[in-house]
Structure formats: structure tokens, C-alpha cells
Amino acid sequence: MREQLARIREEAMAKLNEASSSAELEELRVKYLGKKGEITAILKQMGGLPAEERPKMGQLANEVRAVIEEKLTAAKREMEEKALDLRLRAEALDVTVPGKAPKMGHRHPMYIALDEMKEIFIGMGFTVLDGPEVELAELNFDRLNADEGHPSRDWSDTFYFDEQSRVMLRSQTSPMQVRAMDSMELPIRIIAPGRVYRKDEVDATHSPMFHQVEGMVIDKGVTMADLKGTLNTAVQQLYGEGTKTRFRPHHFPFTEPSCEMDVQCHKCGGVGCPTCKGEGWIELLGAGMIHPHVLEMAGIDPNVWSGWAFGFGLERLAMRRFKIDDLRLIFENDVRFLEQF
């Protein structure tokens, strides 16, 4: 039995020195120290020894076990240290190497124009409102004096969700004017930017999905002169002094009287080109004095209060602001285009 323990010790030491992985070390531990290992097998044979030999053999077996365990622990520690050293070398960072600056994004030209317009109207005392893009026809049409049969309510012009034509993608941000009249105290000064949807064919100045900014003022003694003065001031602050505008009579069901406001084409300077369709002017917004019936539907006395409203296309605003000649460029997300701003 002494010879067996000596052999086990010598063999275990040699194999532990040759082991090159933690898996091999675990195999050797099980082989020599496990429940079914060689030292355990030796200890089970001690019952056949004379009584006076058993303590000596037990002590010798424990010594061999202790030596193997110590060698096993040392081998594991050495292996872990080597692995850590290799990992540190592989993950070494040279702090003297110049870093790579992160590529920063920037605001879309349309939102640059929107932020500038917000600042202009906030400076005039307006509040910015936001609202849902899925809207009720009651707020999008009925409460804005566009009764059944109005051309804008036709299925060829508007995206509806139901057969009853009651739920829709809003065709304008004007419903926010109704929501403001229902929920805010008078006087009211608000603008409502947002995404809107109409069945327009795509061309240089039209898109089935675009953005609007609606504005509304309700106060005592408000006139058309206030509307024109406010809009001219806003446009000149956005585009610069000397920007040429014109107001044309028009008709909207929710305003009376109504008008449209144009700005001189930035591409041709009023001569006429494909961007302005040869007219020399680009329509920017529709506006007018709020119809008394619209005020009455909101419970506002038109004999005491008056107001005006406007709505302009944000894309067209950005086109004039940055001299973009085709609206489609704004939606195509071509990095070569966006990086210019």
C-alpha cells in the first residue's frame, strides 16, 4: 500500500505539471481526489490491514492527499494568473493613440425652421400646443364649419379609418384650435404644429404627408389688420427684412373674410420657374377672421370676442428659408442633402 501511495503521488505530480487547462486540472482532481478516485480506493482497503498499521497508512494517505490538493491549488492559481495576463495584454489600450471623434447628428432643416418659427411666436406671447394625428371628423370638419358635402370631406381628399367617415388622419392641425377654444380661458394665443395627411399627388411642392403650423388669436377688438401685421412680422423675422409678401382674397369655411398669403419665389425672385410653377410666388398659408359660427359652437360670444387664424405648410416654409427647390428632398433622407444644413 505504501508503494501504491508513492506511485499515486509521483504520477499525480507529473500530470499536474503537464496540465495546460482548467478542464485537465478538474479531470486530475476527480481521478485522484474524487469519491471514486484512487486515494479513496486506497482508503477503502485499509480495513484489511492489521490494527497497528492502519493509523500509519491513514496518515500517509492524508499526506499524499494534502500534497496533491496543494499542487492542484497552485496549478489553478498559476493558470488563472497566466490567463489574466494574456487578457490584459490583449485588451491593452494605448492612451497615446489619437481618439476618434464621434460623428454628431444635427437637426433636420424642416425642424430648424419650425424651432425658429416657435421662437418668433413665443416671443409674441403665443403658447405652443400639440395634439393627436388620428382625429374625429367632428373636430376636423364639423366644428370648423365644414358641413357634410364640403369637397375637403370627400374620400378622394381625406384618409378615413371607418365607413362612416367619422375617424380620420387629420387633414390639418385646425382641430387644435377647437380643442383650445373648449379648454382654455380667453383671451387665447396659440400655435399648433404637427403632421397632417391629404391625398395629394407628390410633386415639387406637394406631398400626401406634410407638416402644418396653425395659429389662432381670440381677444376683444381683434381685426384683420392685426392678422396681417403679425404674419408679416413673423415672415420678415424668419426670412429677413425686405421679404416680399402678398395677400389674396380666398374662401375657407371657418374664416370670414379669408385670404391666402404668398411669398415671392426664392428660386427665381418673382420671374417664374418650375418651383413656383411660373407664377413668381409660392403660397405659404391660408388665414382669415374666425367665422362667428365657429366661435358660437365653442360657446364664445362673437359680439364680444373676435379672432383670427392661419395655417401654413412647414415644408414650404423651410423651402423658402433654405432656398430648397423641391419639397421631395425634405422627405428622402439623403445624407448628402441633409449634411448641407
| Cα 280 versus chain centre, distance | 38
**Position 154 confidence tier, pLDDT thresholds 50, 70, 90:** confident
- The pTM of this model reads 0.65
Exposed, middle or buried by CB within 10 Å (0-12, 13-18, 19+), for 339? exposed
- Model confidence pLDDT, tens digit, residues 62-112: 787 788 888 888 888 888 888 888 888 888 877 788 888 888 777 889 889
| pLDDT above 80 (res 7) | no
Count of beta carbons in the 10 Å neighbourhood of residue 131: 18
Name every residue whose Cβ is closer than 8 Å to that of residue 108 and which is 6 or more positions away in sequence: 330, 338, 341
**Per-residue confidence band for 205, with pLDDT thresholds at 50, 70 and 90:** low
Which cell numbers hold the place of 35? Answer: 469519491
Among all chains, which residue has been given the C-alpha cell 407628390?
Answer: 202
For residues 237 and 226, give the distance between their C-alpha atoms in angstroms, rounded to a whole number.
Answer: 16
Residue positions counted in the chain: 341
**Most confident region among 31-45, 143-157, 178-192 by mean pLDDT:** 178-192
Taken in order 254, 256, 262, 263, the sign of the CA dihedral is negative
> Is a pLDDT exceeding 70 seen at residue 47?
no
Give the percent of the chain with pLDDT over 90: 37
In one-letter notation, the amino acid at residue 285 is L
Reported as a pLDDT band with limits 50, 70 and 90, residue 48 is low
CATH of 109-338, one of 1.10.10.10, 3.10.180.10, 3.30.930.10, 3.30.465.10: 3.30.930.10
Q: How far apart are CA 211 and CA 162, in angstroms?
A: 24
CA separation (Å) from 275 to 14, 54, 213, 272?
Answer: 88, 107, 22, 8
**How high is the pLDDT of residue 229?**
94
Show the cell assigned to 142.
364639423
Tell me if 209 sits within 8 A of 297, measured CB to CB: no
Give the C-alpha distances (Å, rounded to integers) separating 138 from 66, 143, 328.
89, 6, 32
> From CA 5, how far away is CA 11, in angstroms rounded?
10
Residue 210 — φ and ψ, nearest 5°?
Answer: -150, -175
C-alpha cell at 226: 392685426
Query: Residue 203 carries which DSSP code?
Result: B
Task: Compare 268 and 191 and report the one with higher pLDDT.
Answer: 191
pLDDT in tens, 221-274: 999 999 999 999 999 998 888 888 999 999 998 999 999 999 888 778 888 888
Express as a percent the part of the chain with pLDDT over 70: 96
The domain locations on the chain are 2-90, 109-338
Q: Quick one: pLDDT band at residue 282, thresholds 50, 70, 90?
A: confident
Average pLDDT over residues 326-333: 85
Residues 113, 183: Cα–Cα separation, whole Å: 28
Model confidence at 326: pLDDT above 90: no
CA distances to 86, 132, 275, 318 from 325, in Å:
60, 30, 6, 10
Residues 6 or more apart whose Cβ sits within 8 Å of residue 231: 245, 261, 285, 287, 310
Confidence of residue 286 (pLDDT cuts 50, 70, 90): very high
* SS3 assignment, position 222: coil
